[in-house]
Amino acid sequence: MKKVYVNEKWCLGCRLCEYYCAFAAAGGNDMAKALKGVKPNSRIKIEKHGDISFAVSCRHCKEALCLRGCITGALGVTDGVVAIDHERCVSCYTCVLLCPYGAVSPSPEGPAQKCELCVKTTDGSPACVKGCPNRAIVFEDRGE
Amino acid sequence: MKYVIIGNSAAGIGCVEGIRQIDREGGIAVITAEAHHTYSRPLISYLLKGKTDREKILYRRENFYSDNNCRLLKSTLVSAIEPEEKQVVLSNEEKIPYDKLLVSTGSRAFIPAFEGLSSVKDKFTFMSLDDAIGLEKSLDKYKRVLIVGGGLIGLKCAEGIRDKVAHVTVLDLAERIMSSILDDGGAEIMQRHIECNDISFRLGASIKRFESNSAFLENGDVIEFDILVLAVGVSPNDELLNGIADTDRGIAVNEKSQTTAPGIYAAGDCTKSFDISSGHNKNMALLPNAYMQGECAGINMAGGEKTFDKAIPMNAIGFFGKHIITAGNYSGDVYSEEHPGGYKRIFYGNNRLNGYILIGNIEKAGIYTSLIREQTPLDTIDFELICKQPRLMAFAKDERMSKIGGV
């Protein structure tokens, strides 16, 4: 299936992916307005240390630990995309305990959140990929 | 192929999903003593608190059994397993044949033999949906509740009912709360936080006897209550396999979830399995382990190949908005951090991460968990960096590339 892949060699650490991600999840059509004065609440997150930076988002693991450990059944997989039903999530964060990539995080509202490859957003394709100015983030099928 | 699964919680459901990854056809009978569709046990406190409801507490959707071609036998007790005949015998004498059997019978509340306990009218354990429904019926805003047991179950119960009663007191023999997952410092922070939410503690206290609505303590104090909740601990339900497979306060299983009896598997709270963080066999009555052990059993029962050999104690739990994530065992050297509202302890030694405690900021905790599960040699990562904050940056470049770049 197609997944988001990151090449740290090309990452500028500009955090545009975080902004595009937060904007896609928030909906609306004016990014500046939607995110003005707000700390972007993104599902993709930049790690930065010295000269190195790269973006981390859900790997949509075939054998997803978050989904196996979920105490409520709120995590499910459809066509390979691991997603959270926010209505069923009780914010216990067992998924945060289990994700080896640190790619599931508490949302400001409580329920856990993670990259769902933008399948629930208006556009339907990953906003972080489109927003990356240096093609450090790509959406490709690499046979996984 | 005929499959029989005794138990309808996480391990049993994991088994169904494991079988169906390999075998879409074989008949599966799921037998449960309870009268319910599969539901999430840890959610019963959320139900009382109003954070979930009778529909959302279901662990899998309404059509789970039909979608997976399963027969669910509710309110059904198994009286015996006959391994020679390869059948289970129900309490109504009916016999159900199997080719492969999973015992995922869970655990039950351990009830100490307190003197005078039978004179207490309103008393409950807190393990099942029926327990929660029964307790909820007894609650009202004038009642005082005494919870015996300051572990995870007792404290989640306290949080769940706090706003529905006049007063909640939690009593424990230990000097600190959640002694199974927290050290002294962590327990103190959580105790203060829970006390701020109007729950009282009596720690280091032991009960001598009960007399209707009074608990008489060893030190002479008396606690008056209207409702008693017993949450002292749990015992594995391993009796069905006594004399059939190895059991010793838990069913012995190997990394394929097999018991010592041919064709019989076991998973979840009723088993004892190998904790790689401490090197000991123990009961790890935890939902994630139960699911994964059950799924592993199912795959092997259906003829696939699967091992579950990365079990460790681990917990994610929160009280009144403050979250805790812990994993592994707390031996070795310690890295400590404390700041207002936050608490971190990392335990390490022999080039391995042994365990950790996070209170408050729990972000990316899974990176620590994976260091324990994968037994990652600490000299292959930037340990100083990762102690400050769990992050993939601490791994070598090749490792980072394979984690996020798929190469």
Residue B303 belongs to what H/E stretch?
none
**Which one of B40, B404, B407 makes the best mutation probe of the A interface by having the most chain A beta carbons within 10 Å?**
B404
d(CA B357, CA B360): 10
pTM: 0.96
Q: Give pLDDT, residue B211.
A: 97
**Which one of A96, A97, A109 makes the best mutation probe of the B interface by having the most chain B beta carbons within 10 Å?**
A97
Of B288, B393, B397, the CB nearest to A69: B288
Q: Give pLDDT, residue A40.
A: 75
3-state helix, strand, coil in chain A (%, to 5): 25, 25, 50
Are the beta carbons of B141 and B112 closer than 8 angstroms? no
pLDDT tier at A90 (50, 70, 90 boundaries)?
A: very high
For A133, other C-beta atoms within 10 Å of its C-beta total 10
3-state helix, strand, coil in chain B (%, to 5): 30, 30, 40
Please give the residue of chain B at the shortest CA–CA distance from A140: B406
Residue B114's Cβ-count burial label (10 Å; 0-12, 13-18, 19+) is middle
The residue among A33 and B158 whose pLDDT is bigger is B158
Given a cut of 90, whether residue A35 has pLDDT beyond it is no
Of B56, B327, B392, the CB nearest to A102: B392
Give first-to-last CA distance, chain B, whole Å.
40
Please report which residue ranges of B307-396 form alpha helices under DSSP H.
Answer: 365-373, 383-388
Of A5, A93, A96, the CB nearest to B406: A5
Inter-chain touch B366–A99, beta carbons under 8 Å: yes
Strand ranges inside A7-143, DSSP E: 45-49, 52-56, 75-78, 81-84, 105-107, 110-113, 137-141
For A63, other C-beta atoms within 10 Å of its C-beta total 9
- For B361, the 3-state DSSP assignment is coil
Chain B CB contacts of A59 below 8 Å: 403-404
Cα A52 vs. chain centroid, distance in angstroms?
20
CA distance A103 to chain B (A): 7
Cβ neighbours of residue B108 under 8 Å, at least 6 residues apart?
Answer: B125, B127, B234, B235, B237
Longest Cα separation, chain A: 41
Q: Give pLDDT, residue B19.
A: 98
- Range B315-345 burial, b when 16+ CB lie within 10 A, else e: bbbbbeebbbbbbbbbeeeebeeeeeeebbb
Are the beta carbons of B239 and B248 closer than 8 angstroms? no
**Which residues in A have their CB inside 8 Å of a CB on B?**
3, 5-8, 47-49, 52, 54-56, 59, 65, 68-69, 71-73, 87-88, 90-102, 104-106, 142, 144
pLDDT by residue (tens digit) across A37-58? 777 789 999 999 999 999 999 9
Q: Give pLDDT, residue B405.
A: 79
Question: Which one, of A97, A91, A67, A89, lies nearest residue B315 by Cα?
Answer: A97
Per-residue pLDDT of chain B (407 residues), as tens digits, is 999 999 999 999 999 999 999 999 999 999 999 999 999 999 999 999 999 999 999 999 999 999 999 999 999 999 999 999 999 999 999 999 999 999 999 999 999 999 999 999 999 999 999 999 999 999 999 999 999 999 999 999 999 999 999 999 999 999 999 999 999 999 999 999 999 999 999 999 999 999 999 999 999 999 999 999 999 999 999 999 999 999 999 999 999 999 999 999 999 999 998 999 999 998 888 999 999 999 999 999 999 999 999 999 999 999 999 999 999 999 999 999 998 879 999 999 999 999 999 999 999 999 999 999 999 999 999 999 999 999 999 999 999 988 887 66
Q: Which of residues 3-62 of B touch A (CB under 8 A)?
A: 14, 40, 42-43, 46, 51-52, 56, 58-61
Q: Give pLDDT, residue B406.
A: 64
Inter-chain touch B391–A102, beta carbons under 8 Å: yes
The DSSP call for residue B165 is S
Residue B274 tokens read as: 């190998």
The DSSP call for residue A23 is H
The DSSP call for residue B52 is S
pLDDT by residue (tens digit) across A3-32? 999 999 999 999 999 999 988 877 767 777
Q: Give pLDDT, residue A121.
A: 78
pLDDT by residue (tens digit) across A105-143? 999 999 999 999 998 876 778 999 999 999 999 999 988
Inter-chain touch B316–A91, beta carbons under 8 Å: no
Does the interface ipTM go beyond 0.90? yes
